[in-house]
Chain A
Amino acid sequence: ETGVTQSPTHLIKTRGQQVTLRCSSQSGHNTVSWYQQALGQGPQFIFQYYREEENGRGNFPPRFSGLQFPNYSSELNVNALELDDSALYLCASSSLTSGEETQYFGPGTRLLVL
């Protein structure tokens, strides 16, 4: 149990639609990252937020956007969904203790785009 929750667990959308995925992390974890994992592949880094600002982004188009809120929750928004967006979306929060980072992953949201 990591204390990181994601909703919904599963989602089916059609091409062109928009989707919002949610993540709730532990109190005090100022950093949240989002990843996309296609079936049979390793995760791909989408972006990272630190104290409500994006501070790192992978090779994803602008239609992937995010928000981080003061209550340690965050959102991943994807506009104009494409079939290739079908994947498991993971969020992770991290804590830093004595210079040591620990990451906590949620169970993921499985998105299917038809």
Chain B
Amino acid sequence: SQELEQSPQSLIVQEGKNLTINCTSSKTLYGLYWYKQKYGEGLIFLMMLQKGGEEKSHEKITAKLDEKKQQSSLHITASQPSHAGIYLCGALRLGTYKYIFGTGTRLKVLA
């Protein structure tokens, strides 16, 4: 089974709508990362959350990490076509230097 579960797998929204992507782990994580990837390209680092209850924002994207450090959500406000792509969560396993990734959420924003 996947160590990091992402939902939904894909999302199609109308431009201007808000949306949320979730990332869940069965184990406590050291840190949680969010990335965006355009098809066939490298990853773009969005932000890292490390403390339980932490929330960060970058432009119209906000990410939160729950107190137990097992679940994170990525929220996009007033989506635009430029937000389209694959969103991936990643994490560092507690006590290791091993990174794991979620399965990704494919986002399409209709103009």
Contacts and interface: CB of A to CB of B under 8 A. Distances in A.
A56 B35 CA distance: 21
A92 B92 CA distance: 14
Interface in B38-61: 40-45, 48
B103 interface: yes
29 contacts: A2-B42, A33-B99, A35-B99, A42-B103, A43-B43, A43-B88, A44-B101, A45-B98, A45-B99, A45-B100, A45-B101, A48-B97, A56-B99, A57-B98, A58-B98, A88-B40, A90-B42, A92-B43, A100-B48, A102-B45, A103-B43, A103-B48, A104-B45, A105-B42, A105-B45, A107-B41, A107-B42, A108-B41, A110-B40
Interface of A: 2, 33, 35, 42-45, 48, 55-58, 88, 90, 92, 100-108, 110
